[in-house]
Amino acid sequence: MSWKTEVDELNRQRQMAQEMGGTDSVAFHHGRNKLTVRERIDLLQDPNSFQEIGAIAGTATWSGDRVDQLKPSNTVIGTCHINGRKIAFSGGDFTIRGGASDAAIGNKSQYAEQYALKARLPYVRLLDATGGSVKTFEQIGRTYLPGNSGTNISAELLQYVPVVSAVLGSVAGLPAVQACLCHFNIMVKGTSQVFVAGPKVVEQATGTTISKEDLGDERTQIKNGVIMNLAISEKDAIDQVRRFLSYLPNNVWEAPPRTDAIDTAEDRDESLLSAVPRDRRKIYDPHVILRSVLDKDSFFEIAPKYGRARVTGLARVQGVPVGVMANNPKFNGGSMDIAAGEKTIRLIDLCETFHLPLVYFADEPGFSVGPAQEQLGIVRAGARVVTALARTKTPYICFILRQLYGVAGGLHQRGGDGLYRRYAWPSTHGGSMHIEGGTAIAYKREIQDSEDPDAKRQEIEQRLQSISSPFRNAHAFGVEDIIDPRETRSLLIDFIEDAWRMIQTQTGPVAGSSSYRP
């Protein structure tokens, strides 16, 4: 006697769950130019690798000993493979009560996070849920004092496995917080919004009438850095999720996944010889330099619209995943403001947590100055960057492209016992402050007492400029090596090979780390 009858019934109920919120609800969802959670999973997974957990968890309507209807939980969880590597994930099903908590069964999302933690698997959230609902009060027959809703596990996950949040609809409350409890997040232009509370709650609390788009779409959340990257479609968003994870190990106990190198160490891009203009007042695009030095088409930029004075992202060098940052003189002269500093800290933390070497292409004029930055607290923000860099042990290499000034410029160098190397291009110059601004302070009396103060100031500036050659620094071993810019890639590869050997001895949780800064 077999159990075929029960297996047939199981398959019938699984099919009910596959129907999600029903034909009409799915059609309405599609009408808003959005995919269902199961269509999103199909984009995320390698073909036929999805293994669902809790497939028939839901609210059943029984007729005697038979289930007539099954409304599934509005959260789908499970595992799948991405580029052959296993990950765990959860996805909100907006076709069932808009993903609200009153349609949840158990706590499937928390279960998925626990599974990822115990199995040491990367974790992906496909967020499309409105969070809490007052209907829950009626369901349980009381109100309640809010707890941490599993956020302890969410915070712990960040220490051990890569975590990604894809915002694929309107998210509020806890899902909005989960959008930021990650190492990388992304939203979709035109169909995604993130906010603490939706328009109706805002209207009740403040009297302000506002649309969900004006409250929290990409115009707000990409610009302010809450969400790092913007996608043009859900497919693009999930493609970016897959690509981000390709640079990271499954967990902190493993080295990053090295791939076959595309370029060779002998590559010497002639354009690098003139990449930095001789005229110090002229700007350039740092992306051109990155494309010439990193493995071909390997640079994945993170938060390109936030803190634009600094470019950050992931790339590969001889197939080894690395973190990359560069000053961008096209914005704010490349100087570090609070947003650029926040981007820098995020990248340092990511590299430290998952054992990625850090590559910096430096052209730092100093911390951003002026009353606006002072009012925002640039000094404290700068101190946080100093602390983050001082504590990291990740292998770190710096190529000085043009200028280094002040405390921010000093961040190109890292003390301590971590592997470190730096090279200077012939275009390098620096100091405690710029000659043009510092002359008026240091030589104030001499300038004021002269017959022609303006001419005297220019004379002193020219005298100081004449001794600003990087070769003088090299003569005093103030910089180890000045290089032909065309040598940059081969020297970078040499360093990364050393770093790769060291990384094998550094795997595991970061010593002394208590929290990741989302």
**Do 322 and 375 fall into the same domain?**
yes
**252 falls within a domain:** no
Confidence class of residue 415 from pLDDT cuts 50, 70 and 90? low
- The tens digit of pLDDT for each residue in 118-156 reads 999 999 999 998 765 545 555 555 554 555 666 789 999
196 with 275, same domain: the answer is no
Considering the domain architecture, whether residues 85 and 179 belong to the same structural domain is answered as yes
Give the C-alpha separation, 282 to 181, whole Å: 40
Rounded CA gap, 382 and 390, in Å?
Answer: 12
Note whether 341 and 461 are same-domain residues.
no
pLDDT at 290: 97
The reply to whether 315 and 235 lie within a common domain is no
How far is Cα 114 from Cα 106, in angstroms, rounded to an integer?
14
In this structure, the answer to whether residues 69 and 212 fall within a common structural domain is yes
444-503: pLDDT as tens digits: 666 666 777 676 666 665 665 656 677 777 777 778 889 999 999 999 999 999 999 999
The answer to the question of residue 518 being in a domain is no
Place of tokens 């914005």: 331
String of DSSP letters for 23-37: HHHHHHHHHTT---H
452 and 373 assigned to the same domain: no
- The whole-number pLDDT of residue 417 equals 73
Percent share of the chain, pLDDT over 90: 57
pLDDT at 368: 83
- Whether 253 maps to a domain, the answer reads no
Residue 97 in this model has a pLDDT that exceeds 80: no
Write out pLDDT tens, residues 184-201. Answer: 999 999 999 999 888 888
Whether the predicted pLDDT of 504 surpasses 70:
yes
Could you report the per-residue pLDDT of 423-444, keeping only the tens digit for each?
999 988 876 555 455 555 555 6
pLDDT confidence of residue 103: 63
Distance from C-alpha of 349 to C-alpha of 17, rounded to nearest angstrom: 40
> Which positions ≥6 away from 294 have C-beta within 8 Å?
315, 316, 317, 322, 324
Q: Are residue 326 and residue 446 in the same domain, yes or no?
A: no
Task: Inform me whether the pLDDT recorded for 71 exceeds 50.
Answer: yes
Q: Which pLDDT band holds residue 372 (cuts at 50, 70, 90)?
A: confident
Please report the pLDDT score of residue 410 as a whole number.
79
Give the dihedral sign, CA 378/410/495/318.
positive
**pLDDT tens, 198-257?**
888 888 888 888 988 998 899 999 999 999 999 999 999 999 999 999 999 999 999 999
Check: pTM over 0.85? Answer yes or no: yes
Residue 257 maps to a domain: no
The C-alpha atoms of residue 481 and residue 475 are separated, in whole angstroms, by 10
Q: 181 and 292: one domain?
A: no
Q: Mean of the per-residue pLDDT values for the chain? A: 87
> Into how many domains does the chain fold?
3
Please tell me whether residue 430 adopts helix, strand or coil conformation: strand
CATH of the domain at 70: 3.90.226.10
Residue 183 in domain: yes
Residues 145 and 163 in one domain: yes
Please determine, for residue 281, whether its predicted confidence score (pLDDT) is greater than 90: no
The arithmetic mean of pLDDT across residues 326-330, rounded, is 95
Asked whether residue 65 falls in the same domain as residue 190, the answer is: yes
Q: What is the mean pLDDT of residues 394-413?
A: 88
Distance of CA 51 to the CA centre of its chain: 28
CA distance 413 to 430: 13
pLDDT of residue 384 exceeding 80: yes
CA dihedral 21, 22, 23, 29 (to 10 degrees): -10
**Interhelix angle 453-465/435-442, nearest 10 degrees:** 120
Q: Which domain holds residue 460?
A: 434-469
Residues 404 and 461 both lie in one domain: no
pLDDT at 75: 92
| pLDDT bracket for residue 514 (50, 70, 90) | very low
Residue 256 resides in a domain: no
Q: Is residue 146 included in any domain, yes or no?
A: yes
Q: What is the pLDDT of residue 467?
A: 60
**pLDDT tops 50 at residue 515:** no
Per-residue pLDDT, 465? 62
- Whether residue 440 is contained in a domain is answered as yes
